[in-house]
Amino acid sequence: MKTIKAKTLVDQPVTEAALDEAIERGQLRQQNGLQAIAVTHGASRLTVSFEDGSGVLLPVKLYAEFDDFCAEDFAALTVGFSGTALCHEGKDLQVSIAGMISASKPLMAMAASVAASRNGRQSSAAKSAAARANGKKGGRPRKVDAVL
**What pLDDT tens digit does each residue of the chain (148 aa) get?**
566 676 766 677 788 988 898 888 877 777 666 689 999 998 889 999 988 888 999 999 989 999 999 999 999 999 998 888 999 999 999 999 988 988 888 889 998 898 888 877 777 788 888 888 888 888 777 788 776 6
| Cβ-contact 71, 60 below 8 angstroms | no
Rounded Cα–Cα distance for residues 10 and 101 (Å): 37
Rounded Cα–Cα distance for residues 144 and 97 (Å): 51
User: Strands 55-59, 45-50: parallel, antiparallel or unpaired by DSSP?
Assistant: antiparallel
Specify the fold of 32-118.
NE0471 N-terminal domain-like (3.30.2020)
pTM (predicted TM-score): 0.62
| Cβ-contact 48, 56 below 8 angstroms | yes
Q: What is the pLDDT of residue 35?
A: 84
Q: What is the pLDDT of residue 88?
A: 94
Handedness of CA 109, 110, 111, 117 (dihedral sign): positive
